[in-house]
Amino acid sequence: MIQFNRLRLNGFKSFVDRTELDIGKGLTGIVGPNGCGKSNLVEALRWVMGENSAKRMRGGEMEDVIFAGTDKRTARNLAEVTLLLDNSARAAPAAYNGNDEIEVLRKIERDHGSTYKINGRTVRARDVQMLFADTVSGSGSPALVSQGKVTKIIDAKPLDRRLILEESAGISGLYARRHEAEIRLKAADA
């Protein structure tokens, strides 16, 4: 698993102003009183790693991650989250192993949708998702434990629990790559 170094948020949910958090090595816990943005930080991590379900982001549509405004602050038209990863151990897929640090950025603008970048290069959502799947992390990673997640794991059906274990073991990306290869083979046969 690649180490998260830094998280930058701008206009994402309750983080209207540019906010930067250094993430230390080892286990990181986010604590604080109700309403201070703990869940929004975890959602920012999931979102930048390619989460595409507005429901899992506690919204009706993906644009709901953009700061909606308050009595004192005007709404924003874009949200941006950047995650900096420590790649000094070269644990990333080969395409990204040229740098000691990998920068993953996701930006959404009202009425324009999301754009993704890895190390400044525009990529597809799938590329970001595969980067994290190949490094034993990702938006659905069991390492990101949000409110109610422990209970959900305990109450999960065997198949769902298996998927959680496969992601923890780092083999979920292999299934996705296999599926893509099968599609290409079928297309070549046609």
Q: Give domain limits for the chain.
A: 3-189
Residues contacting 155, CB < 8 A, separation 6+: none
Strand 113-118, strand 121-123: pairing: antiparallel
**Strand 19-22's sheet: what is its strand order?**
19-22, 3-10, 78-86, 101-109, 113-118, 121-123
Single-letter residue type at 149: K
CA-based nearest residue to 124, from 113, 132, 133, 115: 115
Res 151: pLDDT: 74
Please state which architecture CATH assigns to domain 3-189. Answer: 3-Layer(aba) Sandwich (3.40)
CA–CA distance, 64 with 163 (Å, rounded to integer): 28
Residues contacting 58, CB < 8 A, separation 6+: 39, 43, 64
CA–CA distance, 49 with 155 (Å, rounded to integer): 26
Strand 78-86, strand 3-10: pairing: antiparallel
* Secondary structure class of 123 (helix, strand, coil): strand
Give the pLDDT of the chain (190 residues) as one tens digit per residue.
Answer: 678 999 999 999 999 999 999 998 877 777 888 888 888 998 999 899 998 877 777 778 888 899 999 999 999 999 999 999 999 988 888 888 888 999 999 999 999 999 999 999 999 999 998 888 765 555 455 555 566 666 777 888 988 888 877 776 667 777 777 888 899 999 998 7
CA–CA distance, 141 with 49 (Å, rounded to integer): 10
Q: Which residues are registered as beta bridge partners of 20?
A: 8
Structure tokens at 90: 């070269």
Phi, psi dihedrals of residue 25, rounded to the nearest 5°:
-70, 155
